[in-house]
Chain A
Amino acid sequence: EADIYQTPRYLVIGTGKKITLECSQTMGHDKMYWYQQDPGMELHLIHYSYGVNSTEKGDLSSESTVSRIRTEHFPLTLESARPSHTSQYLCASRISGTEAFFGQGTRLTVV
């Protein structure tokens, strides 16, 4: 098992609420990623980070934001959740030349 953790695993929240999805890794990886995945569907990169204080938007436009203040921590925030944000969010990390390690995912439902 990879040492990358996502919390919560499941979240049901009302429209308009602010939420933060947590992702932490203990492997010292410099690169971290957030992917969005609808059930049984392809993954879309929404954010990535090369290291502390570095964040970039991915291929899929997202209303979420991320921060990277510490190497091990890469939280994703939605300021105002909407039903269209209902999805699974997967966090991953890697170092150059290696595969990515994934967390277990957070399944978000906005009602």
Chain B
Amino acid sequence: AQSVAQPEDQVNVAEGNPLTVKCTYSVSGNPYLFWYVQYPNRGLQFLLKYITGDNLVKGSYGFEAEFNKSQTSFHLKKPSALVSDSALYFCAILNQAGTALIFGKGTTLSVSS
């Protein structure tokens, strides 16, 4: 069965420091992977995706993610965090039937000034 795990409920970083939000997945075949961000009382905003190609994917707002097939991971990264990056981040995978996205439990990122 396919699944997505986000092992950290919360990540705390200081402004200007690099950040990493972790995601691991389980699926048969080639994965379609996504990262979304959610601000309070809002819907989800798409950040980036991995379908095929380069393992390092660049997305919106300076975020990037590295696909690692051997470790079945797709960690979200940013070289220098901003206070405005504080939000709830979701990793998602397309299910094996290709019909819907399955989401992780979410990680709250808190960036302090």
Chain A positions within 8 Å of B, measured between CB atoms, are 6, 31, 33, 35, 40-43, 45, 48, 50, 56, 58-59, 90, 92, 96-97, 99-105, 107
Contact = CB atoms under 8 A, between A and B. Distances in A.
A107 B103 CA distance: 19
A96 B97 CA distance: 11
Contact of A101 (B32, B46, B88, B103): B46
Interface string B35-55: 010000111111001010000
B34 A99 contact: yes
Interface string B67-108: 000000000000000000000101000000011111111101
Contacts of A96: 98
Contacts of A103: 43
B59 to A, nearest CB: 10
Contact of B103 (A43, A48, A50): A43
A99 B49 contact: yes
Contacts of B98: 96
Contact of A58 (B32, B46, B100): B100
Contact of A40 (B34, B88, B100): B88
A58 to B, nearest CB: 7
